[in-house]
């Protein structure tokens, strides 16, 4: 049972109440649980994803230790900012989209 961390940004108060009931809030929008089982983690993520599908505001990232994943890190995310997590040489890298550099017409 690995440690699970959830980070929220610009989300409704219901997320804070729910996550605070199942995890410790370390700082505003940062939640951790030292030994969350995969089943509980999956159920927590299902609730967050369902709410996000209805409300669609902000962003949520969940991470946990996962030896079967690239870099040993399991990762799920919803919302902004737009980033791609890519595996390269047994580690994870963040690839950000570049802004369009063409002048406006």
Residues 39-67 have pLDDT tens digits of: 999 999 999 999 999 998 999 999 999 88
Q: pLDDT tens-digit profile of 33-42?
A: 999 999 999 9
Evaluate whether 44 touches 15 at the Cβ level (below 8 Å): no
Query: Any residues with CB less than 8 A from the CB of 45 and at least 6 apart, and which?
Result: 62, 76
pTM of the model: 0.80
Range(s) of the domain holding residue 33: 4-80
Residue 38 falls inside a structural domain: yes
The domain total for the chain is 1
Q: Helices H, strands E: what count in the chain?
A: 2, 7
CATH number at residue 38: 3.30.70.240
């Amino acid at each position: 049972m690995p440690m699970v961390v959830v980070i929220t940004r610009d989300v409704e108060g219901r997320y804070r109440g729910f996550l605070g009931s199942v995890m410790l809030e370390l700082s505003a929008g940062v939640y951790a649980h030292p030994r969350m089982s995969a089943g509980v983690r999956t159920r927590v993520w299902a609730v967050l994803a369902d709410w996000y599908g209805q409300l669609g505001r902000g962003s949520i990232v969940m991470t946990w230790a996962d030896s079967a994943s690239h870099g040993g890190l399991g990762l799920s995310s919803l919302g902004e900012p737009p980033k791609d997590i890519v595996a390269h040489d047994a580690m994870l890298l963040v690839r950000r989209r570049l802004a369009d550099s063409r002048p406006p017409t």
